[in-house]
Structure 1
Amino acid sequence: MSACTTCGACCACFRVDFSAHEGEDMGGPVPAGLAVEVNQSTLRMRGTDHSPPRCAALTGQIGHKALCGIYEWRPSPCREFEEGSEACARARQRHGLPALDGAI
């Protein structure tokens, strides 16, 4: 299992907005109970607009056995987030975790 599927730092660092078409109510994979409407065309993962942010789909402890409860159904921003990217390094740093080997 990669660090990306056990770390969870990004899930507790960034706001996650995505197309309403990715929501369950519009035929998409993201469960309706985990998304809130921002406007007619945009949804947001529940919990990611809190301070500090923490996605409602995240289970476990950041950096240690953290898992996405909807990994197979996660929205596009989560699918596109790159393990080892600069944003990944920032998220890990915010949670006191070292950057991954090969991070930008």
Structure 2
Amino acid sequence: MSQYCQSCGACCAHFRVSFYWGESDAHPGGTVPKRLTIPVTPYHVAMRGTDTSPSRCVALSGEVGSDVACTIYAQRSSTCRDFTEATIECDRARAAYGLPPLPRSGEADPVAA
């Protein structure tokens, strides 16, 4: 999780977080607590809270845009692990919460400016 994710959380409160069901602890080797997921297809589950609108992952604690944390960080899904740097999707989620876009690699930090 980037330094921004720990003070943002917009993606966790804006997008559906879905992933292969085998990543849940219902499957040997899975880590995401099954009780925090719901089925979305025969092969995929989503984090509870991200299947509705407005969306907010049940594992997200804190206030979006301020100080947030993932309560299952060490057990998070590959979908969450893949969100490691600023993207267009990140910018979209941040905009939904009135937050400025994050810098891309090699750009100046607009938040610090």
TM-score norm. by structure 1 comes to: 0.91
Shift of 1:83: 2.2
Q: Which stretch shifts more, 35-44 or 85-94? A: 35-44
1:62 equivalent in alignment to 2:64: yes
Unaligned stretches of 5+ residues in structure 1: none
Q: Which residue of 1 aligns with 2:9?
A: 8
Alpha-carbon contact 1:22-1:30 (below 8 Å) kept: yes
Q: Which residue of 1 aligns with 2:94?
A: 92
CA RMSD of aligned residues (A): 1.7
- 1:67-82 aligned at under 5 Å gives the runs 67-82=69-84
Unaligned stretches of 5+ residues in structure 2: 108-113
3-state SS of paired residue (1:24): coil
3-state SS of paired residue (1:39): coil
Q: Give aligned-pair identity as a percent.
A: 45
Alpha-carbon contact 1:6-1:64 (below 8 Å) kept: yes
Q: Which residue of 1 aligns with 2:34?
A: 32
Alpha-carbon contact 1:12-1:54 (below 8 Å) kept: yes
The letter of the residue matching 1:30 is V
Residues 9-49 of structure 1 show CA distances to partners (whole Å, capped at 9, x for unaligned) of: 00011011100100111120101111112233111100001
The letter of the residue matching 2:13 is A
Q: Which stretch shifts more, 74-83 or 85-94? A: 74-83
Number of aligned residues: 104
> For 1:39 and 1:99, how far apart are their aligned partners in 2?
32
3-state SS of paired residue (2:51): coil
The letter of the residue matching 1:2 is Q
Q: Which residue of 1 aligns with 2:111?
A: none
